[in-house]
Chains A and B, each alone.
Chain A
Amino acid sequence: MIRSLWTAATGMSAQNTNVDVIANNLANVNTSGFKRGRANFQDLMYQQIKAPGAEASQAGTQLPTGIQIGLGVQTAGVQSIFTEGSFQQTGNPLDLAIEGRGFFQVQLPNGEMAYTRAGSFSVDAQGQIVTPDGNVLQPAIVVPADTVTLTIGADGTISAMQPGNVNTTLGTLQLANFSNPSGLMHIGRSLYQTSNASGEAITGIPGNNGFGGITQGTLEMSNVNAVEEMVNLIAGQRAYEMNSKAIQASDDMLHIANTIRR
Protein backbone atom coordinates (compact mmCIF):
# COMPACT_ATOMS: atom_id res chain seq x y z
CA MET A 1 0.00 0.00 0.00
CA ILE A 2 2.68 2.43 1.03
CA ARG A 3 4.42 1.27 -2.17
CA SER A 4 1.77 2.66 -4.51
CA LEU A 5 1.71 5.96 -2.62
CA TRP A 6 5.44 6.46 -3.21
CA THR A 7 5.28 5.09 -6.73
CA ALA A 8 2.69 7.67 -7.68
CA ALA A 9 4.78 10.34 -5.93
CA THR A 10 7.76 9.54 -8.20
CA GLY A 11 5.35 9.95 -11.13
CA MET A 12 4.29 13.37 -9.90
CA SER A 13 7.84 14.57 -9.37
CA ALA A 14 8.90 13.29 -12.82
CA GLN A 15 6.02 15.14 -14.48
CA ASN A 16 6.98 18.20 -12.46
CA THR A 17 10.46 18.04 -14.05
CA ASN A 18 8.83 17.52 -17.44
CA VAL A 19 6.72 20.66 -17.07
CA ASP A 20 9.78 22.61 -15.79
CA VAL A 21 11.71 21.70 -18.94
CA ILE A 22 8.77 22.58 -21.19
CA ALA A 23 8.34 25.93 -19.42
CA ASN A 24 12.02 26.72 -20.03
CA ASN A 25 11.61 25.82 -23.70
CA LEU A 26 8.56 28.04 -24.04
CA ALA A 27 10.30 30.89 -22.20
CA ASN A 28 13.09 30.68 -24.82
CA VAL A 29 10.85 30.37 -27.86
CA ASN A 30 12.34 33.62 -29.22
CA THR A 31 15.91 33.26 -27.94
CA SER A 32 18.29 33.07 -30.89
CA GLY A 33 20.53 30.01 -30.89
CA PHE A 34 18.51 28.30 -28.12
CA LYS A 35 18.27 24.50 -28.31
CA ARG A 36 15.25 22.93 -26.72
CA GLY A 37 15.57 20.46 -23.86
CA ARG A 38 13.75 17.19 -23.41
CA ALA A 39 13.31 15.32 -20.15
CA ASN A 40 13.88 11.58 -20.65
CA PHE A 41 12.23 9.18 -18.23
CA GLN A 42 12.96 5.61 -17.26
CA ASP A 43 11.29 3.15 -14.96
CA LEU A 44 12.77 2.80 -11.49
CA MET A 45 13.70 -0.49 -9.87
CA TYR A 46 11.51 -3.56 -9.51
CA GLN A 47 10.70 -5.49 -6.38
CA GLN A 48 10.52 -9.26 -6.81
CA ILE A 49 7.40 -10.71 -5.22
CA LYS A 50 7.81 -14.10 -6.85
CA ALA A 51 10.80 -15.13 -8.91
CA PRO A 52 10.06 -16.81 -12.23
CA GLY A 53 11.09 -20.43 -12.29
CA ALA A 54 10.36 -20.89 -8.59
CA GLU A 55 8.88 -24.23 -7.52
CA ALA A 56 5.12 -24.06 -7.78
CA SER A 57 4.29 -27.48 -6.39
CA GLN A 58 5.83 -30.51 -4.81
CA ALA A 59 5.57 -32.28 -8.16
CA GLY A 60 8.30 -29.98 -9.45
CA THR A 61 6.25 -27.68 -11.62
CA GLN A 62 7.66 -24.20 -11.95
CA LEU A 63 6.12 -20.79 -12.12
CA PRO A 64 6.32 -19.71 -15.76
CA THR A 65 6.37 -16.03 -14.86
CA GLY A 66 7.33 -14.16 -11.76
CA ILE A 67 5.76 -11.14 -10.18
CA GLN A 68 7.65 -7.91 -10.12
CA ILE A 69 6.24 -4.72 -8.74
CA GLY A 70 7.79 -1.59 -10.18
CA LEU A 71 8.54 1.30 -7.88
CA GLY A 72 7.94 4.20 -10.21
CA VAL A 73 9.79 6.45 -12.61
CA GLN A 74 12.99 8.46 -12.63
CA THR A 75 14.36 11.24 -14.82
CA ALA A 76 17.26 9.75 -16.78
CA GLY A 77 18.39 13.12 -18.03
CA VAL A 78 17.42 16.34 -19.69
CA GLN A 79 18.75 16.14 -23.21
CA SER A 80 19.37 19.14 -25.44
CA ILE A 81 18.05 18.53 -28.91
CA PHE A 82 20.46 20.03 -31.44
CA THR A 83 18.20 20.19 -34.45
CA GLU A 84 18.61 23.35 -36.50
CA GLY A 85 16.38 26.30 -35.74
CA SER A 86 14.88 28.38 -38.50
CA PHE A 87 16.88 31.30 -39.90
CA GLN A 88 15.90 34.91 -39.79
CA GLN A 89 17.28 37.57 -42.11
CA THR A 90 18.39 40.63 -40.19
CA GLY A 91 20.75 42.41 -42.59
CA ASN A 92 23.10 43.23 -39.71
CA PRO A 93 26.66 42.37 -40.91
CA LEU A 94 27.61 40.96 -37.49
CA ASP A 95 24.66 38.59 -37.21
CA LEU A 96 26.10 35.20 -38.11
CA ALA A 97 24.32 31.88 -38.49
CA ILE A 98 25.87 28.43 -38.85
CA GLU A 99 24.15 26.39 -41.54
CA GLY A 100 24.85 22.90 -40.29
CA ARG A 101 27.02 21.60 -37.48
CA GLY A 102 29.36 23.60 -35.29
CA PHE A 103 29.54 26.18 -32.54
CA PHE A 104 31.12 29.62 -32.33
CA GLN A 105 33.98 29.69 -29.84
CA VAL A 106 34.07 32.53 -27.34
CA GLN A 107 36.39 33.29 -24.47
CA LEU A 108 34.90 33.97 -21.03
CA PRO A 109 36.40 36.70 -18.78
CA ASN A 110 38.11 33.97 -16.72
CA GLY A 111 39.97 32.75 -19.81
CA GLU A 112 37.93 29.55 -20.28
CA MET A 113 36.38 28.68 -23.62
CA ALA A 114 32.64 28.55 -24.14
CA TYR A 115 30.60 27.62 -27.18
CA THR A 116 27.42 29.07 -28.62
CA ARG A 117 25.07 28.92 -31.59
CA ALA A 118 23.74 32.43 -30.90
CA GLY A 119 25.44 34.55 -33.55
CA SER A 120 24.39 38.08 -32.66
CA PHE A 121 27.82 39.69 -32.36
CA SER A 122 28.96 43.28 -32.17
CA VAL A 123 32.28 45.15 -32.13
CA ASP A 124 33.60 46.51 -28.84
CA ALA A 125 35.73 49.62 -28.20
CA GLN A 126 38.95 47.72 -29.01
CA GLY A 127 37.52 46.54 -32.33
CA GLN A 128 37.09 42.94 -31.15
CA ILE A 129 34.07 40.89 -32.21
CA VAL A 130 32.10 40.13 -29.03
CA THR A 131 28.85 38.49 -27.89
CA PRO A 132 26.13 40.68 -26.28
CA ASP A 133 27.84 39.87 -22.93
CA GLY A 134 31.23 41.09 -24.16
CA ASN A 135 32.84 37.64 -24.53
CA VAL A 136 35.40 37.75 -27.35
CA LEU A 137 34.84 35.56 -30.42
CA GLN A 138 37.82 33.25 -31.02
CA PRO A 139 40.23 33.31 -32.81
CA ALA A 140 40.24 36.98 -31.84
CA ILE A 141 40.62 39.53 -34.61
CA VAL A 142 40.63 43.30 -34.54
CA VAL A 143 38.31 45.16 -36.88
CA PRO A 144 39.98 48.41 -38.02
CA ALA A 145 38.15 51.54 -36.86
CA ASP A 146 37.84 52.92 -40.40
CA THR A 147 36.13 49.83 -41.83
CA VAL A 148 33.40 50.69 -44.29
CA THR A 149 31.97 47.20 -44.75
CA LEU A 150 32.82 43.99 -42.95
CA THR A 151 32.38 40.81 -44.96
CA ILE A 152 32.34 37.30 -43.53
CA GLY A 153 32.36 34.54 -46.10
CA ALA A 154 30.75 31.12 -45.91
CA ASP A 155 34.21 29.66 -45.16
CA GLY A 156 34.68 32.07 -42.21
CA THR A 157 37.06 34.51 -43.93
CA ILE A 158 36.64 37.92 -42.34
CA SER A 159 37.63 40.84 -44.52
CA ALA A 160 37.25 44.59 -44.14
CA MET A 161 36.69 47.13 -46.88
CA GLN A 162 38.51 50.31 -45.92
CA PRO A 163 38.32 53.79 -47.50
CA GLY A 164 39.85 53.91 -50.96
CA ASN A 165 38.53 50.44 -51.87
CA VAL A 166 41.28 48.71 -49.89
CA ASN A 167 40.25 45.15 -49.06
CA THR A 168 42.07 43.59 -46.08
CA THR A 169 41.68 40.02 -44.88
CA LEU A 170 41.52 40.14 -41.10
CA GLY A 171 41.47 36.44 -40.30
CA THR A 172 39.40 33.28 -40.40
CA LEU A 173 36.62 32.29 -38.06
CA GLN A 174 36.87 28.78 -36.65
CA LEU A 175 34.06 26.60 -35.43
CA ALA A 176 34.08 23.85 -32.82
CA ASN A 177 32.23 20.54 -32.87
CA PHE A 178 31.79 17.73 -30.38
CA SER A 179 31.24 14.00 -30.64
CA ASN A 180 28.20 14.42 -28.40
CA PRO A 181 26.78 17.97 -28.41
CA SER A 182 23.95 16.83 -26.09
CA GLY A 183 26.59 16.24 -23.43
CA LEU A 184 27.62 19.92 -23.34
CA MET A 185 27.04 21.74 -20.09
CA HIS A 186 24.69 24.72 -20.12
CA ILE A 187 26.18 27.72 -18.38
CA GLY A 188 23.35 30.12 -19.26
CA ARG A 189 23.41 33.15 -21.56
CA SER A 190 23.12 30.72 -24.53
CA LEU A 191 26.63 29.39 -23.80
CA TYR A 192 27.86 25.84 -23.40
CA GLN A 193 31.03 24.36 -21.96
CA THR A 194 32.64 20.98 -22.53
CA SER A 195 32.10 18.08 -20.14
CA ASN A 196 33.29 14.47 -20.06
CA ALA A 197 30.11 13.48 -21.85
CA SER A 198 30.54 15.90 -24.75
CA GLY A 199 34.15 15.04 -25.57
CA GLU A 200 36.83 17.59 -26.39
CA ALA A 201 36.19 20.34 -28.92
CA ILE A 202 37.23 19.55 -32.50
CA THR A 203 37.91 22.81 -34.32
CA GLY A 204 37.75 23.43 -38.02
CA ILE A 205 37.09 25.79 -40.89
CA PRO A 206 33.41 26.50 -41.67
CA GLY A 207 32.10 24.59 -44.67
CA ASN A 208 34.76 21.87 -44.37
CA ASN A 209 34.88 18.42 -42.74
CA GLY A 210 31.25 18.40 -41.73
CA PHE A 211 31.25 21.92 -40.32
CA GLY A 212 28.41 24.14 -41.42
CA GLY A 213 29.00 27.28 -43.48
CA ILE A 214 28.56 30.81 -42.14
CA THR A 215 25.75 33.00 -43.38
CA GLN A 216 26.19 36.70 -42.72
CA GLY A 217 23.23 38.94 -41.92
CA THR A 218 21.18 36.03 -40.57
CA LEU A 219 20.37 34.72 -37.12
CA GLU A 220 19.48 31.19 -36.12
CA MET A 221 16.24 31.22 -34.18
CA SER A 222 15.30 28.96 -31.29
CA ASN A 223 14.46 25.39 -32.36
CA VAL A 224 11.48 25.31 -29.99
CA ASN A 225 8.26 24.40 -31.73
CA ALA A 226 5.55 26.13 -29.72
CA VAL A 227 2.79 23.76 -30.83
CA GLU A 228 4.80 20.68 -29.92
CA GLU A 229 5.63 22.16 -26.51
CA MET A 230 1.98 22.94 -25.84
CA VAL A 231 0.98 19.37 -26.67
CA ASN A 232 3.74 18.04 -24.40
CA LEU A 233 2.60 20.43 -21.69
CA ILE A 234 -0.92 19.02 -21.83
CA ALA A 235 0.38 15.45 -21.75
CA GLY A 236 2.65 16.30 -18.80
CA GLN A 237 -0.10 18.03 -16.86
CA ARG A 238 -2.55 15.18 -17.39
CA ALA A 239 0.02 12.60 -16.35
CA TYR A 240 0.63 14.66 -13.21
CA GLU A 241 -3.09 14.64 -12.53
CA MET A 242 -3.37 10.88 -13.04
CA ASN A 243 -0.57 10.27 -10.57
CA SER A 244 -2.29 12.48 -8.03
CA LYS A 245 -5.41 10.34 -8.50
CA ALA A 246 -3.34 7.22 -7.81
CA ILE A 247 -2.20 8.83 -4.55
CA GLN A 248 -5.81 9.63 -3.69
CA ALA A 249 -6.91 6.07 -4.39
CA SER A 250 -4.08 4.68 -2.24
CA ASP A 251 -5.03 7.10 0.50
CA ASP A 252 -8.67 6.00 0.31
CA MET A 253 -7.58 2.39 0.60
CA LEU A 254 -5.53 3.20 3.69
CA HIS A 255 -8.56 4.96 5.11
CA ILE A 256 -10.68 1.85 4.52
CA ALA A 257 -8.08 -0.27 6.30
CA ASN A 258 -8.07 2.16 9.20
CA THR A 259 -11.82 2.10 9.65
CA ILE A 260 -12.19 -1.69 9.86
CA ARG A 261 -11.74 -1.68 13.58
CA ARG A 262 -14.28 0.64 15.04
Chain B
Amino acid sequence: MQRGFFGGGISSIMQQLRMDDLSNNIANVNTVGYRASRSSFSSYMKELAPVGGEGRAQPPGLRQVSMLDAGKQVIDLNPGTMQQTGNELDLAIQGDAYFTVQLHPGEVALTRAGNFTLDGEGQLTTQNGLPVLDSGGSPIALPAGKVSVTEDGNISVDNQRVAQLGLSAVRDPQQLQKVAGTLLTADPQYIAPAEGNVRIHQGAVESSNVNSMLAMVEMVDAQRAYESTMKIVEQFNQLAAQLADRVGRIQQG
Protein backbone atom coordinates (compact mmCIF):
# COMPACT_ATOMS: atom_id res chain seq x y z
CA MET B 1 0.00 0.00 0.00
CA GLN B 2 1.11 3.57 -0.60
CA ARG B 3 2.97 5.23 2.24
CA GLY B 4 1.04 8.46 1.84
CA PHE B 5 -2.11 6.54 2.63
CA PHE B 6 -0.87 5.83 6.12
CA GLY B 7 0.75 9.25 6.43
CA GLY B 8 -2.61 10.86 5.74
CA GLY B 9 -4.40 8.51 8.11
CA ILE B 10 -1.97 9.18 10.95
CA SER B 11 -2.26 12.94 10.44
CA SER B 12 -6.03 12.60 10.71
CA ILE B 13 -5.68 10.70 13.97
CA MET B 14 -3.40 13.47 15.27
CA GLN B 15 -6.05 16.07 14.42
CA GLN B 16 -8.58 13.95 16.29
CA LEU B 17 -6.32 13.98 19.34
CA ARG B 18 -6.02 17.73 19.05
CA MET B 19 -9.78 18.03 18.76
CA ASP B 20 -10.21 15.89 21.90
CA ASP B 21 -7.79 18.16 23.74
CA LEU B 22 -9.58 21.30 22.53
CA SER B 23 -12.97 19.89 23.54
CA ASN B 24 -11.64 19.36 27.04
CA ASN B 25 -10.43 22.97 27.18
CA ILE B 26 -13.80 24.22 25.97
CA ALA B 27 -15.66 21.99 28.45
CA ASN B 28 -13.60 23.64 31.20
CA VAL B 29 -14.00 27.22 30.03
CA ASN B 30 -15.85 28.05 33.29
CA THR B 31 -13.84 25.83 35.66
CA VAL B 32 -12.14 27.88 38.38
CA GLY B 33 -8.35 27.45 38.37
CA TYR B 34 -8.32 25.28 35.23
CA ARG B 35 -5.15 25.27 33.14
CA ALA B 36 -5.55 24.80 29.38
CA SER B 37 -3.43 22.24 27.61
CA ARG B 38 -2.01 22.46 24.16
CA SER B 39 -0.84 19.60 22.03
CA SER B 40 1.77 19.84 19.34
CA PHE B 41 3.00 17.25 16.92
CA SER B 42 6.42 16.20 15.91
CA SER B 43 7.40 14.71 12.61
CA TYR B 44 9.95 12.02 12.33
CA MET B 45 11.78 10.79 9.29
CA LYS B 46 11.57 7.22 8.24
CA GLU B 47 14.27 5.71 6.03
CA LEU B 48 12.97 4.22 2.84
CA ALA B 49 14.29 0.97 1.53
CA PRO B 50 16.52 1.61 -1.51
CA VAL B 51 14.65 1.23 -4.74
CA GLY B 52 16.06 -1.30 -7.15
CA GLY B 53 18.75 -2.76 -4.91
CA GLU B 54 22.18 -1.76 -3.62
CA GLY B 55 24.55 0.48 -5.51
CA ARG B 56 22.05 2.18 -7.72
CA ALA B 57 21.66 5.93 -7.57
CA GLN B 58 18.62 7.07 -5.66
CA PRO B 59 16.66 10.07 -6.81
CA PRO B 60 17.42 12.89 -4.38
CA GLY B 61 14.81 13.74 -1.83
CA LEU B 62 13.02 10.43 -2.02
CA ARG B 63 15.04 8.47 0.50
CA GLN B 64 13.06 9.54 3.49
CA VAL B 65 9.44 10.00 4.26
CA SER B 66 8.14 12.23 6.98
CA MET B 67 5.68 10.78 9.47
CA LEU B 68 3.72 12.59 12.12
CA ASP B 69 3.58 11.64 15.75
CA ALA B 70 1.82 12.98 18.81
CA GLY B 71 4.77 14.99 20.01
CA LYS B 72 4.20 16.79 23.22
CA GLN B 73 1.64 18.51 25.24
CA VAL B 74 2.20 21.59 27.29
CA ILE B 75 0.10 22.96 30.08
CA ASP B 76 -0.59 26.64 29.56
CA LEU B 77 0.58 28.30 32.79
CA ASN B 78 -0.58 31.82 32.01
CA PRO B 79 -2.75 33.20 34.78
CA GLY B 80 -6.51 33.31 34.30
CA THR B 81 -8.42 36.47 35.05
CA MET B 82 -9.34 37.22 38.65
CA GLN B 83 -12.98 37.20 39.45
CA GLN B 84 -14.24 38.98 42.56
CA THR B 85 -16.70 36.90 44.56
CA GLY B 86 -16.64 38.47 48.03
CA ASN B 87 -16.70 35.01 49.63
CA GLU B 88 -14.19 34.89 52.49
CA LEU B 89 -12.96 31.36 51.68
CA ASP B 90 -12.25 32.18 48.02
CA LEU B 91 -8.54 32.72 47.50
CA ALA B 92 -6.66 33.62 44.34
CA ILE B 93 -2.92 33.57 43.76
CA GLN B 94 -1.13 36.31 41.91
CA GLY B 95 2.31 35.13 40.84
CA ASP B 96 3.99 31.83 40.19
CA ALA B 97 2.73 29.56 42.97
CA TYR B 98 0.16 26.91 43.76
CA PHE B 99 -1.94 25.96 46.76
CA THR B 100 -0.75 22.67 48.23
CA VAL B 101 -3.41 20.05 48.95
CA GLN B 102 -3.20 16.52 50.27
CA LEU B 103 -4.12 14.03 47.55
CA HIS B 104 -3.46 10.90 49.66
CA PRO B 105 -1.67 10.70 53.00
CA GLY B 106 1.93 11.58 52.18
CA GLU B 107 1.18 12.69 48.64
CA VAL B 108 0.56 16.30 47.70
CA ALA B 109 -1.06 17.86 44.68
CA LEU B 110 -1.03 21.46 43.52
CA THR B 111 -3.93 23.60 42.46
CA ARG B 112 -4.79 27.14 41.45
CA ALA B 113 -8.47 26.57 42.21
CA GLY B 114 -8.90 28.56 45.42
CA ASN B 115 -12.67 28.14 45.83
CA PHE B 116 -12.19 26.46 49.18
CA THR B 117 -14.72 25.35 51.74
CA LEU B 118 -14.72 23.84 55.23
CA ASP B 119 -15.64 20.33 56.26
CA GLY B 120 -17.73 19.34 59.29
CA GLU B 121 -14.66 19.60 61.56
CA GLY B 122 -13.73 23.05 60.32
CA GLN B 123 -10.82 21.91 58.12
CA LEU B 124 -10.07 23.98 55.05
CA THR B 125 -10.64 21.78 52.00
CA THR B 126 -11.01 21.94 48.23
CA GLN B 127 -14.42 21.47 46.66
CA ASN B 128 -13.96 17.70 46.63
CA GLY B 129 -12.83 17.55 50.25
CA LEU B 130 -9.04 17.35 49.92
CA PRO B 131 -7.36 19.12 52.87
CA VAL B 132 -5.48 22.32 52.04
CA LEU B 133 -2.04 22.23 53.66
CA ASP B 134 -0.17 24.88 55.61
CA SER B 135 3.49 25.77 55.18
CA GLY B 136 4.44 22.88 57.47
CA GLY B 137 2.48 20.37 55.39
CA SER B 138 -0.39 19.78 57.83
CA PRO B 139 -4.11 20.39 57.30
CA ILE B 140 -5.55 23.73 58.39
CA ALA B 141 -8.35 23.69 60.98
CA LEU B 142 -10.25 26.95 61.33
CA PRO B 143 -12.40 27.77 64.38
CA ALA B 144 -15.77 29.40 63.68
CA GLY B 145 -15.38 33.12 63.15
CA LYS B 146 -14.45 35.78 60.66
CA VAL B 147 -11.68 34.49 58.41
CA SER B 148 -9.17 36.90 56.97
CA VAL B 149 -6.20 36.10 54.78
CA THR B 150 -3.36 38.52 54.24
CA GLU B 151 -1.52 38.99 50.97
CA ASP B 152 1.36 36.82 52.17
CA GLY B 153 -0.93 33.92 53.05
CA ASN B 154 -1.45 34.35 56.80
CA ILE B 155 -4.84 33.06 57.86
CA SER B 156 -6.47 34.63 60.91
CA VAL B 157 -9.83 33.97 62.50
CA ASP B 158 -11.29 36.87 64.48
CA ASN B 159 -7.82 38.53 64.37
CA GLN B 160 -6.14 35.48 65.91
CA ARG B 161 -3.40 34.02 63.72
CA VAL B 162 -4.21 30.42 62.88
CA ALA B 163 -2.00 29.22 60.05
CA GLN B 164 0.24 30.11 57.15
CA LEU B 165 -0.94 28.81 53.78
CA GLY B 166 1.46 26.37 52.16
CA LEU B 167 2.34 27.78 48.74
CA SER B 168 4.43 25.70 46.36
CA ALA B 169 6.25 26.36 43.13
CA VAL B 170 7.36 23.91 40.47
CA ARG B 171 10.96 24.06 39.34
CA ASP B 172 10.40 22.45 35.95
CA PRO B 173 6.84 23.17 34.70
CA GLN B 174 7.26 20.45 32.06
CA GLN B 175 7.02 17.90 34.86
CA LEU B 176 3.46 18.89 35.71
CA GLN B 177 0.74 16.34 35.14
CA LYS B 178 -2.97 16.97 35.33
CA VAL B 179 -5.17 15.01 37.70
CA ALA B 180 -8.97 15.06 37.93
CA GLY B 181 -10.32 17.73 40.25
CA THR B 182 -8.41 20.71 38.78
CA LEU B 183 -5.22 19.39 40.35
CA LEU B 184 -1.66 19.18 39.11
CA THR B 185 0.94 16.74 40.31
CA ALA B 186 4.67 16.49 39.87
CA ASP B 187 7.45 14.38 41.29
CA PRO B 188 8.23 15.69 44.85
CA GLN B 189 11.79 16.57 43.79
CA TYR B 190 10.42 19.29 41.50
CA ILE B 191 8.14 20.87 44.12
CA ALA B 192 9.57 23.60 46.37
CA PRO B 193 8.11 26.29 48.59
CA ALA B 194 7.15 29.33 46.54
CA GLU B 195 9.43 32.33 46.65
CA GLY B 196 9.43 35.82 45.29
CA ASN B 197 6.52 37.97 44.33
CA VAL B 198 3.47 35.90 45.27
CA ARG B 199 0.33 37.51 46.61
CA ILE B 200 -2.92 36.05 47.88
CA HIS B 201 -6.21 37.80 47.22
CA GLN B 202 -9.10 36.97 49.50
CA GLY B 203 -12.63 37.11 48.10
CA ALA B 204 -11.58 36.35 44.55
CA VAL B 205 -11.04 33.26 42.44
CA GLU B 206 -8.90 32.75 39.38
CA SER B 207 -11.04 31.77 36.42
CA SER B 208 -10.06 29.22 33.79
CA ASN B 209 -7.19 30.38 31.57
CA VAL B 210 -8.82 28.92 28.45
CA ASN B 211 -8.93 31.60 25.77
CA SER B 212 -12.32 30.83 24.28
CA MET B 213 -11.71 32.86 21.12
CA LEU B 214 -8.46 31.04 20.41
CA ALA B 215 -10.06 27.71 21.27
CA MET B 216 -12.82 28.23 18.71
CA VAL B 217 -10.34 29.26 16.03
CA GLU B 218 -8.17 26.24 16.79
CA MET B 219 -11.21 24.04 16.62
CA VAL B 220 -12.00 25.24 13.10
CA ASP B 221 -8.35 24.75 12.22
CA ALA B 222 -8.31 21.17 13.57
CA GLN B 223 -11.52 20.35 11.74
CA ARG B 224 -10.22 21.71 8.43
CA ALA B 225 -6.85 20.00 8.84
CA TYR B 226 -8.71 16.78 9.49
CA GLU B 227 -10.73 17.36 6.34
CA SER B 228 -7.68 17.90 4.16
CA THR B 229 -5.72 14.95 5.53
CA MET B 230 -8.79 12.80 5.05
CA LYS B 231 -8.89 14.04 1.42
CA ILE B 232 -5.42 12.54 0.98
CA VAL B 233 -6.68 9.22 2.31
CA GLU B 234 -9.62 9.49 -0.06
CA GLN B 235 -7.33 10.16 -3.05
CA PHE B 236 -5.21 7.16 -2.23
CA ASN B 237 -8.35 5.12 -1.87
CA GLN B 238 -9.41 6.19 -5.39
CA LEU B 239 -5.96 5.38 -6.75
CA ALA B 240 -6.18 1.94 -5.24
CA ALA B 241 -9.65 1.50 -6.70
CA GLN B 242 -8.39 2.50 -10.13
CA LEU B 243 -5.47 0.15 -9.77
CA ALA B 244 -7.77 -2.74 -9.05
CA ASP B 245 -10.30 -1.72 -11.63
CA ARG B 246 -8.31 -0.57 -14.66
CA VAL B 247 -4.84 -2.04 -14.67
CA GLY B 248 -4.84 -5.31 -16.50
CA ARG B 249 -8.26 -4.84 -17.98
CA ILE B 250 -8.52 -6.11 -21.52
CA GLN B 251 -10.34 -3.67 -23.71
CA GLN B 252 -13.05 -5.20 -25.77
CA GLY B 253 -13.21 -4.50 -29.51
Q: With contacts A11-B26, A183-B119, A250-B19 known, is A68 near B37, CB below 8 A? A: yes
Sample of 13 more A-B contacts, CB < 8 Å, known A7-B20, A7-B24, A41-B32: A8-B23, A42-B127, A46-B179, A67-B39, A74-B180, A210-B146, A235-B30, A239-B212, A242-B26, A246-B23, A250-B23, A253-B15, A253-B16
Q: With contacts A68-B73, A242-B212 known, is A180 near B117, CB below 8 A? A: yes
Classify the secondary structure of A's interface with B: mixed
B237 touches A199 (CB 8 A): no
B29 touches A239 (CB 8 A): yes
B198 within 8 A of A: no
B27 within 8 A of A: yes
A79 to B173 alpha-carbon distance, docked (Å): 32
- Cβ proximity bits A35-55 to B, threshold 8 Å, 1 near / 0 not: 000101111111001101000
A73 to B26 alpha-carbon distance, docked (Å): 9
B20 touches A3 (CB 8 A): yes
What residues of A have a CB within 8 angstroms of the CB of B220 in the complex? 249
Within 8 A of B (CB), among A1-41: 1, 3-5, 7-8, 10-11, 14-15, 18, 38, 40-41
Chain B residues in the interface with A (C-beta under 8 A): 12, 15-17, 19-32, 34, 37, 39, 70, 72-74, 85-88, 113, 115, 117-122, 127-128, 142, 144-146, 158, 174-175, 177-182, 212, 215-216, 219-220, 222-223, 226-227, 230, 233-234, 237
Distance in angstroms from A48 CB to nearest chain B CB is 9
A196 touches B120 (CB 8 A): yes
A42 touches B113 (CB 8 A): yes
A4 touches B16 (CB 8 A): yes
A256 touches B20 (CB 8 A): no
Distance in angstroms from B3 CB to nearest chain A CB is 18
What residues of B have a CB within 8 angstroms of the CB of A238 in the complex? 212
A-B interface pairs (CB < 8 A), number: 201
The segment from A58-66, A119-127, A213-221 found at the interface with B is A58-66
Q: With contacts A178-B144, A183-B120 known, is A76 near B181, CB below 8 A? A: yes
B31 touches A73 (CB 8 A): yes
Distance in angstroms from A105 CB to nearest chain B CB is 16
A92 within 8 A of B: no
